[in-house]
Every structure is written in structure tokens, then in C-alpha cells.
Amino acid sequence: MATESTNPTSTTTQPELDTRAVASAQALAAHIVQAKGHGHGGTAMALAPLSHVLFSRVLRHSPAHPDWPARDRFVLSAGHASLLLYTQLFFTGYGLTLDDLAKSRSLGSKTPGHPEVHHTVGVEMSTGPLGQGVASAVGMAMAARHESAVFTPGSTLLDHTTWVLAGDGCLQEGVSGEASSLAGTLGLDNLVLIWDDNGITIDSSTADTFTEDVRARYRAYGWRVLEIDTPNDLDALEATLRAAAERTGRPTLVALRTVIGAPSAKFGGRSAAHAGGFGADELAAVKTTLGFAPDATLQGLVAPETLEHTRGALTRGDELHREWEADLASWSTLDPEGAARWIAFRGGEFDTSALDSVKVGSPGDLIATRKTNGAVLRALQGAVPLWGGSADLAGSTTVEVDGDRFSATNSAGEFIRFGIREHAMAAILNGIALQGPWRPFASTYLVFSDYMRPSIRLGALMGLGAVYVFTHDSVAVGEDGPTHQPVEQIASLRTVPSLDVVRPADSIEVVAAWRRILASPDRPVALVLSRQDLPVLESHDTTPAGVTAGGYVRWQHGDGNDLAILATGSEVHLAIKAAARLAEDGICARVVSMPCVEWFAEQSTDYREVVLPVALRARVAVEAGRGDAWYRWVGLDGCVVSIEEFGESGSGPQVLRRRGIHLDAVIAAAHATLGAHPGTPQGTSKPLTNEERTS
């Protein structure tokens, strides 16, 4: 099994061809942006020497095997400089063409304005929101170390380096600082952050906004700092990058001084180089400076011998991949059981039968859904590739599993302590999911999901299977008051495309929800759980299937065709109480538990008709949060019992009643909606007033 350094030696360099390759990359960026009239060429030009050396000499990658598990990862955190990445993917043989480069930022192209994972071969992460790439690269490095420690301890077979390229803007965003702090604490020496220290932002020089000593800050985080003051010296770049990839027990910051827009005499070093073309005259001057004809076409900027030289990355990559496969075969012979475990892990093979052992209680038992969720995580430990932790709230959110924490000295640790870094935690989860095939989870209170929102959105955009475990799901939090009582968070999270928001009613629904979550690795989930105990409700054989469908009839009197009461989470038992009270007056109501409206909306029309018949117009929705979106399901003449203002300090039951979530309010809403539909029971009732809702 491999035990040598994972940093490969470079192929024989040819200085003249290397120089031409860099010049071509710089000219391509200037030409394409000028031709399109928009885009970001300045950074791509300045970093062309660095990117050429990295992709052609240093990076452990194989363009012909882009999914190679042991490849180095490269994340362009400064995603606006996408041309830099696309140009190297073209030069090194990832399948892009000059025409693809010319079509950058165009509808339907392989080269969108910012890199998009799963869209362009060779792109490891969707980036653009500054700082996100830095934070997610930390997650990639953590997952890589964890996988290696769990499956091949003492070996470098799975070891590789995560590289991330960031600009001044990335390092100003707080999420990068949060994640970098944790990376230093964890000693992630398989992580290299290259900082493009050009002193320029969109509006001005960093002298106006960013004068801190970044190098000292990263040293204080526990990072090693290396300097490159000669950005065009290819051999010096290679030497420093190779040193950066050495395992020293610390992550490495490479501070690279560049001039944005170089070698343009007119725009170099100016904010104007950040975006937009340089103009026809300056473009011609740049081409001349780089050794091309001033009117050279796109094709004329890439000589056949230059492309042949850079495509040497294919041969180099094949050799690296072949050597690794030989090491893998040797390991499989020496440790067939261990190799089989890793292959099953990589193939997504796992057994969820442990869910059957989770105790859900008997009807009437009082169990907080956060507690059942904790039992689920512990039951699945070791059987399913779940890995995660909490933002310093593990005891309260009950997500801590058995075993040791992940640390600088224990990469096999079963649990991650993220510290009080919610935004970085969510971004790190994205990195862990991208590294794959872990299903990462992380937990905090629902109200703090606001800190995580940008990373949650990016995870949904990338289709990553992260699980965000949010507890303390409503004003029932109680005495901590409105700062800790979520009101708008559930409704807000439901507006994120491709994010499943799941709010189980009881322990039975928690377990059933996890069956669907584990079967859907390409969708993130916000799992919203109660702090307070909730009664285990009567169940039946169709309950698990109903949960995975997102909505189902949990309780019904008669044919249930007089009234539908829709509810989620802790309000389902309240809805059942109300329906039972209404049944005493002869009203046939059905209670629809809707743990996930996204899942329910995906069901067939026939299924939804069974649960919520179109003809059943008298409808009430109940949820302890903002209720605007529920009108989709109850109609304009239905009623929504919700909370439309912030909470206050007091016991949970007191605050819920003060904000209108109580039995009398649900019954009054039922009468109001029944009154809006003549011919149904209680048809003479009047609509509910605001005063009645909150009394």
C-alpha cells in the first residue's frame, strides 16, 4: 500500500512552451471579455502563471478520470475569475473547447459566469458568493482526512490535498474567517489556501477597507504562511506550491502578490481591471506585449505546439491514476475486507435497518422530537455514512453520537465540534458533501438558521445531501424570549428551491422521515424539531408511507369531507384535539399531517386528491410561525392559524396562547371557514377576527 508523499513530481518542463502557455491564457481572458463586453478578465490574467503551474506541474489530477477519489481538489473561491479555471480545463484536457470559452456567460454554455459543479467537468464546487469556497474547502479537507483515517489508517492511499484560490474579497467575508479558525484548530495540513494579494476590490484599493495584517491573522489561527513575491517566476511558483503541499501539521496560506490585469499597461493594478473589457486599442497592446499579432483571433492565440504541451497533463494524469490503481489493487489483496468496506462506502451501499430499533414510544407518551432524532443518529452510527456535529449545542439538540471528537490528533473522530460558527458550519457541510459520499449533518437552534442561510442556499443550488438539524422550533422555546423564538424561519426556509423542510409531528414521523432523507442523497434537508415534549399520536400501517409522501390523513372522523385541518410538527396534536371537539357537533373533519410540503407537492394529482379533495373547500392550516404560504393549500377562503409577530419571554404554553396557537383559536377558525361554505355544518358562523384569533 502507498506510503510515500502524495505530491507528484512534475513532468519535464519546457520554459519556452510554458511561457507561451501562460501568455495564451492571459490573452484569451482579455480577448474573450472584450469580445463579450462583460466578464472578469483581470484576475484570470494576473493569475495565469499560478494556474498554469498548478494544473500542469503540481496538482494531483487526471483529466481523463475527473472522479478519481484520490485526486486533489481545486476550489476557485473567487468564482468571478471563472475564465481562469475554464482556461486551464481547456488547456489540460477536461473536454472544453475554444468555442466553449468564447461562449462563457452565455445561456446553455458549459462555461457559466461562475463555476457550477455537476455542470462543467473539472469544477469541484459552485462558487461566486465570496468566502464560500474557502469555508467549503475546509469541509473537503476534513472529509478527506476522515475518510483516510477511517478506511486506510497509516496509509496515504486516499490522501490528497485540497487547494483553494481566494481573493481579498473572500478573506473579508466572515464565513472564511470562521472556517479558517476551525481549520487551524484541527490542524488540516491537507489544505492549502492561495491568497491573491492584489490589493484591489471592485470599488477601490484595499487601503480603504482592508488594512489588517492577513498573514499575522492566519498565523494566529495556527496556519503556516508562505510568501510568493514573484508571480511570474514559474519555477519559484512550483517550488512554493510543492512546499505548501507538504504535511506539517498545519494548513498553509500562500500569500501571492499579483497585479490585477497584468500585463496591461493601462488597466494593470486598477479597480477598472476587475470587470469589463479593456477596449480594442488596449487589447491590441496586450496581445502585442504577449507576443501575438494585435489582431489575433481566438484561435490564433493558441498555437498547436502550445496546446500539445499543456495537454501533457493527460499523460501525467494517466500515470498518476495508474500508479494509484496499482496501490489500490495491492491493498485489496492485503486487506480484502477493508477494501470491500471502502468500495461499499464509495458506492453508497448501506443498511438502514437500524431504524427499526429506534424506540418511538406508545400513543400518549410524551417525547420531544429532538430526542427521537438523537436516538436515530446513534442507531445509524456506523451503519450509514452520516458524519457531523453541532455549533456548541450538542447536548441541547441531542445530536452527539458515541465515540471521540474529530480533532487534529484524531481524524477518525465520530463527531465534529464546529464551535460557535453557524455560517462556517453550513458551508463546511457543503464541502463534506462535495467530497462525498458522507451525508453530513449539523445542528443548532432554528432561529440561528438565519446565520446559515447563504450556505444553505448554495447547498440547495448544488443539490447536496446535507442535513440541517434545527431544534427549538417555535415560540414554545419560552423564557429565552423573542431573540431565541423562531417565527419567520420555517416559512423563509420553504422559499429556498430544492430544500426539503421537514417538521415531524411526533417520534413516529421522525423515524419515517429519516427513511426518505437517507434515500435522497441529492437534496438538502432542514429537519425542524421540537424542544418540548410532544405526545406520540395514534398511528396506522400507512403512516410511514404518508410521511415520506410529505402529507397524509393522520386522523379522521366519519368521511372527513366537511373540513380539513392541516398542521405540522407540534400543532398536529392540537389539530387532532380540535377535530375531535368538532366531531362532538357532528362535523366530519380530517387532520392532514404535512411534515414536508415539498414532498407533498411532488406527489401525483391522484394522491393529493385523496388527501385533500378539491371539493373539500373548508380548510384550516395550523402552524406556530408565519402563515402566508399556507394559503396555497387552504385557498383564499380558508383560514390559517399562525404567528405573525415576534414572541416574548414567558413559558412556552403562555407564549403560544398569547400568540394565538391554542385549541379555541383552531376551533374558531374551523367555524369561520365552514361558515364561508354554505351547506356545510356551522354554515352560519362568521369569519374570525384578529381579536378572536389572539384571545
Instruction: Give the CA angle between residues 127, 133, 138 to the nearest 5°.
Output: 150
Yes or no: say if 365 and 531 are a contact pair by the CB < 8 Å rule: no
User: Does residue 437 have a cis peptide bond before it, meaning omega lies within 30 degrees of 0?
Assistant: yes
Angle formed by the axes of helices 312-334 and 82-92, nearest 10°: 80
- For the chain, the distance separating the N- and C-terminal CA atoms, rounded to the nearest angstrom, is 72
Catalytic residue check, 212 = no
Q: Which of 459, 455, 438 is nearest to 387 (CA)?
A: 438
Distance between CA 347 and CA 306 in Å, rounded?
39
Amino acid at 288: T
Amino acid at 609: E
Reading across the β-sheet that carries 252-257, which strands appear in turn? 73-76, 162-167, 191-197, 252-257, 224-228
Distance between CA 574 and CA 272 in Å, rounded?
60
Instruction: Give the CA angle between residues 515, 519, 520 to the nearest 5°.
Output: 120
Yes or no: say if 130 and 170 are a contact pair by the CB < 8 Å rule: yes
Burial class of residue 242 (count of CB atoms within 10 Å of its CB; 0-12, 13-18, 19+): middle
Yes or no: say if 78 and 196 are a contact pair by the CB < 8 Å rule: yes
| Residue partners of 252: CB distance under 8 A and separation at least 6 | 189, 191, 192, 193, 223, 224, 225, 226, 244, 245
DSSP strands (E only) in 201-241: 224-228
Catalytic residue among 116, 124, 147, 422: 422
**Residue holding cell 458568493?**
129
Cell numbers for 394, please give them: 450538542
DSSP label of 528: E
> What are the Cα distances from residue 491, in Å, to 488, 495, 546, 559?
6, 7, 22, 31
Yes or no: say if 397 and 471 are a contact pair by the CB < 8 Å rule: yes
Print burial letters for 351-380: b (CB count within 10 Å at least 16), e (below 16): eeebbeebebeeeeeebbbbbbbbbbbbbb
User: Does residue 263 have a cis peptide bond before it, meaning omega lies within 30 degrees of 0?
Assistant: yes
Yes or no: say if 104 and 400 are a contact pair by the CB < 8 Å rule: no
DSSP string, 453-501: HHHHHHHHHHT---EEEEES-SGGG-TT-TTS--SSHHHHHTTSTT-EE
Q: Which of 93, 89, 118 is nearest to 104 (CA)?
A: 89
| Residue partners of 358: CB distance under 8 A and separation at least 6 | 372, 375, 376, 379, 507, 511
Residues tagged active-site: 422
